[in-house]
Structure 1
Amino acid sequence: MKKKRKKAYNPEHNNLGELDMNPQIRQLVDNINQAIEHGLTCHYWLEIKVQEFFLLLKISYTREKIYEFLYLILSSDITFSEQIRLHWKKFQTAAELAAFLNLTTKKFTMQFTAVFGLTPYQWMLQERARSVLFEVKINRKAI
């Protein structure tokens, strides 16, 4: 008897890797930061906190939201997606990024679209906008 293959997850939104923190998760993150700042480096304690984090995710968010949050690290081509995340800011165009990864522009675009669900151009524009917004929020820069 053949096993049914699960349908590949395809997120509806492009808010991948983002999740608004609820008060419980915010408190957990603040407590972890505070403990680390005070010198707590016990890996057993940190493992427990990671488990607590995932439990809070499970009880606080829908499966869809959790998938969107973790999608980038669970993608079908983790090596490719990690290379994109590490190097995309160094390049102005998708063609430059493709050349850096030793791929033709066509092959790169096909693989990129399969992994990220957007064309490289759309994704790079979106990520640049997010970076600017993040800088403005964090550094309180004037626009």
Structure 2
Amino acid sequence: MSILYQNEHAGCFNNDRSEKPQIEVKKIVKGDTGILSLKDNEIVFITEGRISFVANDSSGCEGIKGQILFLPAGANYSFEALAHSTITIFRFYESIKLCDNFDLEKLYEKKALTNGYRVRTARFGTLDINAHLWHYLDGLNDLISKGMRCRNFFKIKIKELLLILRSFYTKEELHDFFSPILSDDTVFSEYVRLSWKNFRTVTEVANSMHMTHKQFYNKFIAIFGKKPQRWMNEGRARIIHNEIISTRKQFKLIAAENGFASDTHFTRFCKKELGKTPTEVRYGKKQVEENVK
């Protein structure tokens, strides 16, 4: 049975026609490869096949049918389909909250950690799809295949997903799954992860959180283990590198989208953080030198 009144749904402002909807079902052919630069946290369900993921820090994970992967925002990932695969992707535009009465921070509490939880710093979180989630996914994927792309529907289904995770997985399992983003102040760390790209300077980020520069600086180092400007520069460099090598965008557009006031500033940043000019990153230094001759 198809969706009734399809033209009305297609013309609704809540119909998600974006290239990356909040929930997406994708089929990937064996041998396909690509690069992901995540601006939001993603949960990926592998319902068919086998896919290899490698993060920018060289850590890797091979997901197979029946597994769930948690991919945190702020990193680049390369992937390769090792078999014909089908995945369902959930994109989280806001901080993840399992339910109204259970924030992720509760998984990090020292009391819980001393009761047998494993402290991890892995780039990937993994879970097995249980019977409840298979049932949930079957219904969801069927509706999406029939053209359901309503943003309100996606919000409801994401809330349902989180409630299923909260209800049918142990806190130990959820701790390990979400461990890449857990801290003793997940609200702070997730705000930074999801919002830092909207600001040019550390002071602007601090002001947006109603903190002094010193307060923000000290909390940032305690959680991320790096100076905030260095962390932001590394994150911006990863995004820029991915856009240069995996898109055909003009350098002026990439510079503008990443907050650079001029081509000169953009080129100087690339040389400092990537070791090459934008042209050398895209085409290779040797080819650029040959074209100059």
Length-normalised TM-score, structure 1:
0.54
Aligned to 1:82: 190
1:39 and 2:97 correspond: no
1:114 and 2:222 correspond: yes
1:134 and 2:242 correspond: yes
CA shift digits 1:60-102 (9 cap, x unpaired): xxxxxx88x8512x23321101211232122221112111111
Opposite residue 247 of structure 2, the aligned amino acid is N
Once residues 25 and 101 of structure 1 are traced to their aligned partners in structure 2, the CA distance between those partners, rounded to angstroms, is: 45
Aligned to 1:62: none
CA shift digits 1:19-56 (9 cap, x unpaired): 55464698242xx36x5762387x6xxx6xxx9xxxxx
Once residues 75 and 25 of structure 1 are traced to their aligned partners in structure 2, the CA distance between those partners, rounded to angstroms, is: 36
Q: Tell me: CA distance 1:79–1:139, structure 2 relative to 1, closer, same or farther (3 Å).
A: same
Deviation for aligned residue 1:105: 1.0
Opposite residue 71 of structure 1, the aligned amino acid is P
Aligned to 1:27: 85
Corresponding pairs, count: 107
Structure that is richer in strand per residue: 2
Once residues 223 and 217 of structure 2 are traced to their aligned partners in structure 1, the CA distance between those partners, rounded to angstroms, is: 10
Which SS does the other structure have where 2:237 is aligned? helix
Aligned to 2:180: 71
Q: Tell me: CA distance 1:113–1:21, structure 2 relative to 1, closer, same or farther (3 Å).
A: same
Q: Tell me: CA distance 1:22–1:118, structure 2 relative to 1, closer, same or farther (3 Å).
A: same
Deviation for aligned residue 1:104: 1.2
Quick one: higher RCO (CA 8 Å, sep 6+), 1 or 2?
1
Give 5+ residue unaligned stretches, structure 1: 1-13, 52-65
Deviation for aligned residue 1:134: 2.8
Opposite residue 27 of structure 1, the aligned amino acid is S
Aligned to 1:6: none
Once residues 25 and 118 of structure 1 are traced to their aligned partners in structure 2, the CA distance between those partners, rounded to angstroms, is: 39
Opposite residue 92 of structure 1, the aligned amino acid is R
Q: Aligned Cα RMSD in Å? A: 3.9
Give 5+ residue unaligned stretches, structure 2: 1-55, 58-70, 90-140, 149-156, 166-175, 251-277, 279-293
